[in-house]
Every structure is written in C-alpha cells, then in structure tokens.
Structure 1
C-alpha cells in the first residue's frame, strides 16, 4: 500500500512536465528513501518469515533484474540522448520502488470476478518495473501517430511529420521543443555516409537555449527578426549581459527596451568571427545550454530570422506516459504480455 504513493506523485510530476518541462531534483529523494526502506523490509520479512526457499530466490532474482538491468538501461538511454535527466531518474526510482508484482485483493470488498485481484495480468518473469516500462513505451508510441495524423489533416506532409509540427517562427519562444530542419532531396540520391547522416540529423536548436540566449542579450525574438543584420554583428552584444535564466517559459522575463545600453562595440571588447555572439554567449555561461553548440545556435537564429514558419519537435514529456503506464500496471497489468498471450506467443 505504501508503494501506491507513487501514483499521486507521478500524477503531479506529469502535470508539471506538461506545463514547465521541469521536474525538481528534490522530488526523487523521498521516493528513493521509501524504496530502500521497503526493499530492506521485504527482504527481512521474506528471509525471517514462513516462506519457501523458492520464494526467496524468486524475490532476489526479480529484484536483481529490476535494479541491475533497468537502472543501467535508463542510464544508457540518457547517455545516448534518448532520455532526459528527469526521465532517467524516474525510471531508476521505479526500478528501486517497484521490483516485484504487487497484489491487491479486492474480494475483501465483495468485488468478484476478474477484478477481484489486481493487477489482472502479470508476467512470467514477475518484474513489475519492466511492466511499467513496457506500458510506458506502448503508450508513448501513440504520440507520434497522433502527431502525424494532426499534421496530415492540416496538410503538412513531411518526413518529420511523426516527430514535429509547424509553428509561426515569431512564436518560437512561446513553445517547448527543438527546431528541426529537413534536408531536401531524395534518399536514393545519397552517395555517402555523411549524406545519409544529414538526411536524418534533423535536430537543431533547443528552444530553451534560445530563451536563455535572448534573456542574456536583453532581446526579444521580434526585435531579432525585425533587424537580423544588426544583431548578427557581435559588436551589438551587451557589455553587461543579463543572467540567462534556465530557459523555462515561466521563468523567462525578457523585457528589452529602447533605453541606451552599452554594447561590446562601445567598450572595444568585440569577439572576432562570431556571428550572433553565439560562442561568446556559451563561453559566458560555461557552455551549459542543453547541448547547444555555437553552430547550432547560429543556424537556429538564422532560420528564425529568415523563415515565417519553422518545424519544431515538441518533445514528449515522458513522465506523462509513464504515469499512465503506472496506472495501467497497477490495475490491468502488462499490456504487451496480455497481447502476446492473446496471439499465443507468451
């Protein structure tokens, strides 16, 4: 029953992930502490109570699979860029907190039939965290399908219609996501590995990094689009830039004005060969802007200055399908295993 606390906590985190794409680091500490306490308690009860050696071995194996497989797996996806930091911590927490299948006997409330015991469907392996992971992946897979359908109905047909959506360039700072750019030309015309890589290297500028850059320059996107030649000149960089913030929409307060303000051109500290001051910006904040490089920032700014419409990958707040995956896991159980059992594979 104590483990059910994960549901309201992840419900709150899912809501917060949608609104701000930010999850406080301190959120995980109480859940991890609870997970460790419950693991110690489960171990004590199993090895001191009236349980068989088979049950004890099964518990150890299931816990080992959850902890020593799922945690490294989540960390590996983070290293490859497949998971964000919060997603990785979430899966690691689930691995510690939910290693084995729970059992809720609702027949004590006079509930009969299939729903008398939850989850309805368990697996042969019996590792509950893997069920949560499988449910999360299946629910998350619906997102690109829905995005492609939305784009198709709107008439936006593109190789990236499953991962991106078009927006007005001037509204980029009001969105979360990553700018994408699709290479023109047919895939069958590719003649080199670098050309093949370019076909699928769509990712450009993270919009959080864009907000940090504009905040740092005390500049709005509208001003940048109105006068790109001026702001492309590194001499226009402020002599005393603002703190960049964290890139969140809620915490961005760019209030550029026409009041006189010293630029680097005024004080003689002008970087050489640095369009838009991209390198100067990243150097000033120690390069920590969601993996942004000077080239990525320059390309993104050029795109936003020149185009009326751009494609962004809104990104899937992964904790959202994880929350629904948890709800399904605690109630119905493992969706994938149920399907495989239905077709006779499992």
Structure 2
C-alpha cells in the first residue's frame, strides 16, 4: 500500500497519524503543562484497531509471522503498559506522560516498516522480538538525559556557573506569573525542591492578589490577618486561567474608637516596649506567616506536594529578589515525541550505542 511516495502496510501507514498528534500534545505541554485526557482517546482506539488488524494479517500469513507478531505484542501490552503505570504511581511520570506511553504500547507493539524510494525505515531496523514501543521509550529517555547537558552548556557559555546550571536558568521575577516550573533557590541558597510555580499561582488566586501586590507590600501580606474573609477558588494554577479580581486582601483600618483606645494604651506603655513589638511583627513572627497553613488546609488535595514551609520560603525569595533561578521541568512528552520520530526514522538509539 502506498501513500504520497511511502510504501507500507495499511496499519503502518495509519500509524503515521501519531506524529502530528504527538507534535501537538508536546507543544501544548510546553505551553500549558496540561494535556486534555480526551486527546488520547482517538489514538487509543486507533491503536486497538490496528493491533487487531496486524494480528489478523499475521495469523492469515503463517505460523512464523504469527509468532513474530504475538511475542512483541505480548511484551508491549504485558510489560510496557505496567511500566507506564508504575512510573506514574511512583511519581516518575505525570498523568499525560503515562497515558502517552500506554497509547504508544497499543500503537507500536511491533517494528513498522516504510519504504521511501530506495530506503527502508527505520534505517537501523530493530529486534523483531522486542516491542517497538520500548525503543520509543528508550530513545525518549536518552533525549531527556541530553537536556541537562544542553542546559549546562548554555549557562556555562553565558557565564552562569552554579550548582544548578544543569537544571534551569535565571528569569526576572516579573515573569514568574507566566512561567512554568519550580524555584531552584530558597532564602538559604540553591535547592532542588523549591516552590512549585503552579502552587504559587493557586495561592495568589486564593487570596485575590497578584505577585506585584505581594512584592509591593510583603510585610502586610505576611501577616495572616490580611487573609480575605471569603477566599477565591484557587484553580489548578494554570497560567491560562484568568486571575480573580484582586481585592488586595483584608486590611483592617482603625476606627476613631480604636484610635482612642490605642492612644490610651500607648500612654500606659513605654516607647521601648512598643518599638520591640513593632519590630517583632515586621520580622514576620506570626503563628502562620503568609497564611500558608490556612491556604493548604482550605483547598482540596495538595498543591503539587507543596508544604507550608515551601510556600513561605518561596514567597520570601520572590519578594526579595529581582531575578530567580527556576527549573522549567521539561515535560516528558517532548523527549517522548523526539523518541518517536527518531525511532521511526532511525530505530533504537540505545541498542546502537550498546552494540
């Protein structure tokens, strides 16, 4: 069967539809860090149909063809699918990454074959008994491992030599509200477990604030008494979600009666004591600085594993620094898409490197 100069079996030609779909979800993941679950349903249905089609062709051919189909297909469904689930269960994969690998296990259980002119792709061929989906995964992992090397080289060429130069880059604090990733620094220095920026957006929306509000008056918003009486929905922290109308948080103004009482109280206290109390308050010595505990207790689930200490420390950093180091947390769908293209064009890179 041929299509636009490509000669291949019917199932293998239909598998080429995977390329534009995976390109789209990879771009979507970069821009929003979110891929709708519905994106995988058509591909999953296509993969299931092609699996049956390939099996029928092999069964109709001969015993050898049937065995060459059955073994890699069984490994793809019996090994790659559980592997994707385990990676997701232990936090190695996000939900979209696991679904993508599940879909690939259905779509590419055996090595496809394409003839273009005098060339046959994949160029390096492949082990007929191993699932092709495993080759795609291996390629994706190798591409993923190359990303920190590229980041380190980029930062070194720019003269940014630090302990986290292989994990991210510095950005202006003004860009944080539209940036995905995680802070790579705390008030104590660099850290691999800084504040998740989606969690930061959840917190700011919950309070009805912007990061500029917080940076302009950190002492006020560090005080938990400034929390709104009725918080806003925190959303899921996506950049594309519109921020709620900022109310600036609750700010209690003193009434005339309060001022009289305060003056009477002040006359009974010495200036040194008043200054000491004011200093303690400005240092942020509150039961719940920034209202971090109140925020985490009020939302459903967790804010991407963020602790109250992470949130407080991240807010302290963002209100003090003009530039911060962040890790973009490159979504695995990007190297997985690259692994798919490499596998279809060349084959299994890992096998080539090992042999």
TM-score (norm 1): 0.82
* Residues 204 and 249 (structure 1), Cα distance of their counterparts in 2 relative to 1, 3 Å cut: same
Q: CA 1:4 to 1:264, structure 2 compared with 1: closer, same or farther past 3 Å? A: farther
Given the superposition, is the C-alpha separation of residues 316 and 154 from structure 1 closer, same or farther in structure 2, using an over 3 Å criterion?
same
1:180 aligns with 2:161: no
Tell me, what secondary structure is at the counterpart of 2:330? coil
Q: How does 1:222-301 map to 2 (within 5 A)?
A: 222-256=212-246, 262=250, 273-301=287-315
**2:340 matched to which residue of 1?**
326
Task: Look up the match of 1:32.
Answer: 44
Q: Secondary structure of 1:238's partner?
A: coil
Corresponding position: 1:86 with 2:90:
no
Alignment of 1:105 onto 2:115: yes
Match of 1:15 in 2: 27
Structure 2 residue aligned with 1:193 = none
Deviation at 1:10, TM superposition (A): 0.5
Which runs of no fewer than 5 residues in structure 2 stay unpaired? 1-12, 255-285
Distance in 1 separating the partners of 2:111 and 2:187: 47
Q: 2-side partners of 1:224 and 1:27: how far apart?
A: 38
Offset at residue 50 of structure 1 (A): 2.5
Q: 1:313 aligns with which of 311, 322, 327?
A: 327
> Separation in 1 of the partners of 2:244 and 2:160?
32
Pairwise CA distance, 1:257: 5.2
Cα distance in structure 2, aligned partners of 1:184 and 1:274: 20
Cα deviation, residue 264, structure 1: 9.5
SS where residue 120 of structure 1 aligns?
Answer: coil
Question: How far does the alpha carbon of each residue in 1:20-67 deviate from its partner, in whole angstroms, 9 at most, with x for none?
Answer: 1111111111111111222222223323x1312x33233222112212
Is 1:158 the equivalent of 2:162? yes
Q: After TM superposition, give the deviation of residue 183 of structure 1 in Å.
A: 9.8
Quote the offset at 1:179 in angstroms.
Answer: 0.9
Distance 2:342 2:110 in 1: 16
Alpha-carbon contact 2:186-2:194 (below 8 Å) kept: no
Tell which deviates more after alignment, 58-67 or 230-239: 58-67
Give the equivalent residue in structure 2 for 1:123: 126
The answer to whether the 8 A contact 2:122-2:347 is kept is yes
Cα distance in 2 for residues equivalent to 1:318 and 1:142: 12
Asked whether the equivalents of residues 75 and 130 of structure 2 are also in contact (C-alpha less than 8 Å), the reply is no
Please state whether the residue corresponding to 2:331 is helix, strand or coil. coil
What SS class does the counterpart of residue 194 from structure 2 fall into?
strand
After superposition, the CA RMSD in angstroms is: 2.5
Among 74, 82, 96, the alignment partner of 1:72 is 82
Q: Distance in 2 between matches of 1:184 and 1:231?
A: 21
Question: Residue 105 of structure 1: CA displacement?
Answer: 2.7
CA distance in 2, matches of 1:183, 1:171: 19
| Partner SS, residue 102 of structure 1 | coil
Which residue number corresponds to residue 62 of structure 2? 51
Task: Give the count of matched residue pairs.
Answer: 311
Larger Rg: 2
- Pair 295,224 (structure 1): closer, same or farther in 2 beyond 3 Å: same
**Rounded Cα–Cα distance in structure 1 between residues aligned with 2:212 and 2:186:** 24
